[in-house]
Structure 1
Amino acid sequence: MKWEDDGYARRDDDGRPVTFEEYQKKSSHNATERNRWNLTKGDLKMFAITGVGFFLDSYDLFIINLVTPVWLYEYWGGLDGRKPHYPPLLRGLVNAGSNIGNIIGQLTFGFLGDVFGRKFVYGKELIVVIIGTILTISLPNDIPTPTLKMIWLFCFRVLMGVGIGGDYPMSASIVSERSLLPKRGQLLGWIFSNQGWGTLTGSIATIIILASFSHALGAEGHYGQLDAVWRIQMGLGLVPAFATLYFRLTMPEGRKYLQSRELNGHSAAPNSNGAKNHDNSKPAQEPELDSLGNPSVSTNVGPSSSSIDATTAANENKLNPTSSTEGRTKYKAFFVYFSKWKHLKVLLGTTSTWFLLDVAFYGTNLNQSVLLDEIGFNTGKNEYDLLMRNAIGNLIIAVAGYVPGYFFTIYFIEKLGRRWIQIQGFLIVALMFAIIAGDYDHLGTAGKFVCFAFAQFFFNFGPNSTTFIIPAEVYPSRVRGLAHGTSAAVGKLGAILSALLFNYLSGPNIIGLANVLWVFFACNVLGAIITFFTIPETRNKDADVMDYEEWKERQAKLYPEDA
């Protein structure tokens, strides 16, 4: 559409008079469509650097599915048809090890990222992952008992989990702060989709590794080779970690984070002499950055866009808080921000929905091998066949449901919005669990398998993606790291709860697997309800702009004479 001014009206290409609002709306829509799918080199570089954390998250957390059967045979007497004796609570503890570490990492690195900056923290969490992984696969064979071996594995999987957990708030904040509004959700979805590739890679790698040992394991029955199998399975996660470490350690600080943090150092309270200690100048507005901190030309998309002309930005005054003032206030910014109910309500929403999701999501994924066995998928003439069949089952579910779900989210997130995708995902997953649990004794293996695949699809075209994306968008940069880390940490409490109790509760003498699935059903229904009442839509909304508008309103109320 071109503009023509005939002195009386603005007209479109067909000569029809249009209002300024109509023109602006259509121009913004066209800009949104152009920007959404036009991934720049900076976007792709950011995708590679930040995405590897979620690849490792998925690979390292869910490879436990495929490693646990190996441990059953190697350490717990599961060979030659004997029933392994791997205590359910110990098994749950080892499965939960990484998630326990996640909580520590999410809170710690989230806090440090808000206080000291993304650059100060980024890359350090990857070093922790590398150290934890190396120590995990270095399990000494001379440790005398299987229980002590599992304790070793638990301790260093906790350490590895600290690093993986730290990646959640840091990568989420960096991507959110360096993305243009029209494609912010898409980029966050792209980054998070690496979870799918991590799970898929774990299944493919396991099949290849087992095939490499097929003669020794399948033909000759040399099951001592299983020791090499699981160490290779876990050790492969070191490859992408080392490949991206340098780039994380050298990533520059994001300008949007620095701009947002200036509000922390601005005090509107009277000073010790009774005089006003406030500054009516704005926080600095900088040009929008494309991906890795480089200034780029951005198109305004509605009133919530944070882009501003560079010339205007250069003429605006900046806040210049003293270092002592900023030092005091940046530590308490999180508590000041969430002292307001409208912000606290959102935090309660993002934390509780992530918790409810992870109860069901990790309860399913950390124990997918158990579920495959329960529904009759795992069969074979010897231990090698059982391990291969288990890996193939995990691969089929990943290809059929797990990975495609992420890409549906990427495609639809800017069209449908975050809330809608999260609510429909919760409800459809609940339906799948209800079908399996309600007709558990009569539903065949194929029916259960299909329902699990659909559940995996709508986990990822649903709350597993959006519970990560929404906290990265709904909070301003100055509190985003810790707010996102807190949401993720509470979510991991749900994952730990499932990991510890799933094997215990699903036993036939407790409540059984069908009733555990009813618990998952209830978690998903409750998650949809909480989403509806507490979480706002974040599409095309800039939390930093909204935060600044709130600051201006506070200033106007405190000092009406300066308004």
Structure 2
Amino acid sequence: MATATMPASSAKGAPMTQEEKKVIFASSLGTVFEWYDFYLYGTLAVIIGKQFFSALDPNSQVIFSLLAFAAGFIVRPFGALVFGRLGDMIGRKYTFLVTILIMGLSTFIVGILPTYASIGVAAPIILIGLRLLQGLALGGEYGGAATYVAEHAPHGKRGAFTSWIQTTATLGLFLSLIVILGTRTAIGEEAFAEWGWRIPFLVSIFLLAISVWIRLSMNESPAFKKMKEEGKTSKAPLTESFGQWKNLKIVILALVGLTMGQAVVWYTGQFYALFFLTGPLKVDGATANILIAVALLIGTPFFILFGSLSDKIGRKPIIMAGCLIAALTYFPLFKALTVAANPDLAKAQATSQVTVVADPNECSFQFNPTGIAKFTSSCDIAKQVLAANSVSYENVAGTGPAKIKIGDKEIESYSSKGLPADEAKAKDAAFKKATIDELRAHGYPAKADPAKMNKPMIIAILTLLVIYVTMVYGPIAAMLVEMFPTRIRYTSMSLPYHIGNGWFGGLLPATGLAIVAQTGNMYNGLWYPIIFATITFVVGMLFVKETKDVDIYAKD
């Protein structure tokens, strides 16, 4: 842990200077723009899937777009290593400039990138390459921002000051939703799906210009500047961070006992909630975006509340409480969300349960990330039709061709294996029509009825999910900074943060979709965040030490 004498300007209780406040504001604002760039893709994943993966079937388009979204998260730890090393060797300020340029230019290029219809397979390849660049840049951004702000903050107020950095991801997502919604409203849904989706990406060039100007106006971190003047910067931050057990064990604890659980709670409360509304609950995209945006607006001040509270009662109790409460309440909250957002669906599920009766030996794993698997058995075809209509079902072992049971009605599926193309197409159309007609007859809606939505309740539930996010995320920047010495802080804290958020968090939407596709229950994707939040709670409570009183100006 960090132990040393801090500069007088940061003495406990001393107010920050106007210059320090300006620098921290500039750092936070620049980070908002960077998150805006990153989340545009996630919010527009379905449209991007149609534009760049149009050679695949609709289900595979969504899966591929989510996997391309996840690709940016997967490389974030590598960005943490590359830029963390630079930040610990040459300084925080110049590393900031590099990350914002990479992020901003990559986002702008997505806005002018030709689609699959224009240049074929090169389009998705280039798109994924740009996503990887965005992930690398973001991997270097957060650790620098958190370190930079914490090293400016007075002792005893680090939680409060770094919590402003914690709001940037949510504000960036909020800004992206507002720009997308404004564009959709201005030009209409049809034009937006065809070409208007490019506008939010192109607008980012102006945000990039502002961000670069902001970053150029920054001063170097006083802690790094002091250490550099004393000639004590690390010559090999990667080796010191991960090659020495005394530091490596803290990195591992930071991952398993903090960031892993924080990440899944964060992504469940913001991204998975959005996917759940627009997917299983069939709420139209514009309405879902507005509801999420309102919840974010209400919930965002709680980042500051919990960050400031952590200066008084500690970081650990708040983070652990957030993980535990989330794990215990996700199932009832998402079921309540179904009742509020699509009451017709909730009623149909309660009165007309859907069951797939099939031979387990002919049922394949329903997740098809490569897009090349061919589902030809009667079981697979039945499940594919139900999945395409966002219908939850139970699996029951049986013999013979698979059957879909809806209430007291039964529809027999078919196997397309070996059938001529025309015959398979005709059987597919007839089976889909029979299934959908029966679903409608039993009250399963084609989409959520806006007139029946309980929007105040939806906003209340979404806001509560965001408050869980603020509990685990508000204090975590200060805690991660306090766990490592100054000379390797950027590198050491960045890796566990980005493995937790990039891998455990970023893979949540695609993994949750895979779990739902395999089990047939639209709520089962919640097991993913529940399990990892619970692991973090147990490990954190047993092995992670409180850090709020640590002196972060370390020389070791």
* 1:348 aligned to which of 233, 252, 266: 252
* 1:453 aligned to which of 463, 485, 489: 463
- After superposition, the C-alpha distances for 1:364-405 in whole angstroms (9 at most, x for unaligned) are 534443211346361xxxxxxx3322321221332243x233
Taking the aligned partners of 1:94 and 1:255, their CA distance within structure 2 comes to: 39
Question: Counterpart in 1 of 2:370?
Answer: none
> 5 Å matches for 1:25-44?
35=14, 40-44=17-21
Question: Counterpart in 2 of 1:124?
Answer: 98
Distance 1:232 1:44, change over 3 A: farther
Distance 1:405 1:63, change over 3 A: farther
Structure 2 residue 297 is the aligned partner of structure 1 residue 399: yes
Distance 1:158 1:210, change over 3 A: same
Taking the aligned partners of 1:327 and 1:477, their CA distance within structure 2 comes to: 9
User: Please, what TM-score do these two structures have when normalized by structure 1?
Assistant: 0.68
Question: Counterpart in 2 of 1:309?
Answer: none
Distance 1:241 1:533, change over 3 A: farther
- After superposition, the C-alpha distances for 1:331-384 in whole angstroms (9 at most, x for unaligned) are 643346x422xx444322211231233234335534443211346361xxxxxx
Shift of 1:486: 1.1
CA contact (8 A) 1:178 1:254 kept: yes
CA contact (8 A) 2:265 2:468 kept: no
**Structure with more relative contact order (C-alpha pairs < 8 Å, separation 6 or more):** 2
Question: Counterpart in 1 of 2:314?
Answer: 417
CA contact (8 A) 2:97 2:212 kept: yes
CA contact (8 A) 2:51 2:115 kept: no
Gaps of 5+ in 2: 1-10, 343-453
Query: Highest Rg: 1 or 2?
Result: 1
| Residue aligned with 1:122, SS | helix
Structure 2 residue 177 is the aligned partner of structure 1 residue 203: yes
* 1:257 aligned to which of 198, 220, 224: 224
Number of residues of Structure 1 aligned to a counterpart in Structure 2: 430
Distance 1:62 1:146, change over 3 A: farther
Question: Counterpart in 2 of 1:281?
Answer: none
Structure 2 residue 68 is the aligned partner of structure 1 residue 94: yes
Question: Counterpart in 1 of 2:197?
Answer: 230
Taking the aligned partners of 1:64 and 1:258, their CA distance within structure 2 comes to: 37
Question: Counterpart in 1 of 2:359?
Answer: none
- After superposition, the C-alpha distances for 1:48-80 in whole angstroms (9 at most, x for unaligned) are 3211343134323333343124336666789xx
Distance 1:65 1:145, change over 3 A: same
Taking the aligned partners of 1:519 and 1:211, their CA distance within structure 2 comes to: 35
Shift of 1:438: 7.4
Could you tell me which amino acid in structure 2 is paired with residue 172 of structure 1?
A: A
Taking the aligned partners of 1:207 and 1:162, their CA distance within structure 2 comes to: 28
Taking the aligned partners of 1:457 and 1:444, their CA distance within structure 2 comes to: 20
Percent identity over the alignment is 19
CA contact (8 A) 2:265 2:472 kept: no
Shift of 1:183: 1.8
Distance 1:232 1:142, change over 3 A: same
Question: Counterpart in 2 of 1:561?
Answer: none
Taking the aligned partners of 1:161 and 1:234, their CA distance within structure 2 comes to: 16
Shift of 1:187: 1.1
Taking the aligned partners of 1:369 and 1:145, their CA distance within structure 2 comes to: 31
Question: Counterpart in 1 of 2:547?
Answer: 538
Distance 1:147 1:96, change over 3 A: farther
| Residue aligned with 2:310, SS | helix
Shift of 1:437: 6.2
Could you tell me which amino acid in structure 2 is paired with residue 97 of structure 1?
A: A
Question: Counterpart in 2 of 1:502?
Answer: 512
CA contact (8 A) 1:170 1:481 kept: yes
Question: Counterpart in 1 of 2:45?
Answer: 68
> 5 Å matches for 1:462-501?
462-491=471-500, 492-501=502-511
- After superposition, the C-alpha distances for 1:392-427 in whole angstroms (9 at most, x for unaligned) are 1221332243x2331322332222221111011111
Shift of 1:44: 2.9
CA contact (8 A) 2:16 2:154 kept: no
- After superposition, the C-alpha distances for 1:6-55 in whole angstroms (9 at most, x for unaligned) are xxxxxxxxxxxxxxxxxxxxxxxxx96x65xx554223322232113431
CA RMSD for the aligned pairs? 3.3
Taking the aligned partners of 1:184 and 1:101, their CA distance within structure 2 comes to: 29
* 1:365 aligned to which of 252, 264, 270: 270
Distance 1:242 1:534, change over 3 A: farther
- After superposition, the C-alpha distances for 1:429-463 in whole angstroms (9 at most, x for unaligned) are 21221324678987875567644431221111x22
Question: Counterpart in 1 of 2:5?
Answer: none
Distance 1:439 1:476, change over 3 A: same
Question: Counterpart in 2 of 1:517?
Answer: 526
Taking the aligned partners of 2:261 and 2:311, their CA distance within structure 1 comes to: 25
- After superposition, the C-alpha distances for 1:467-487 in whole angstroms (9 at most, x for unaligned) are 333112221110101111111
Distance 1:465 1:154, change over 3 A: farther
Structure 2 residue 427 is the aligned partner of structure 1 residue 427: no
* 1:191 aligned to which of 156, 165, 172: 165
CA contact (8 A) 1:92 1:500 kept: yes
Taking the aligned partners of 1:534 and 1:121, their CA distance within structure 2 comes to: 33
Taking the aligned partners of 2:114 and 2:341, their CA distance within structure 1 comes to: 43
Distance 1:400 1:118, change over 3 A: closer
Could you tell me which amino acid in structure 1 is paired with residue 309 of structure 2?
A: F
Shift of 1:138: 1.7
Taking the aligned partners of 2:124 and 2:459, their CA distance within structure 1 comes to: 31
Between 1:138-147 and 1:439-448, the stretch displaced more is 439-448
CA contact (8 A) 1:428 1:455 kept: no
| Residue aligned with 2:197, SS | helix
| Residue aligned with 1:181, SS | coil
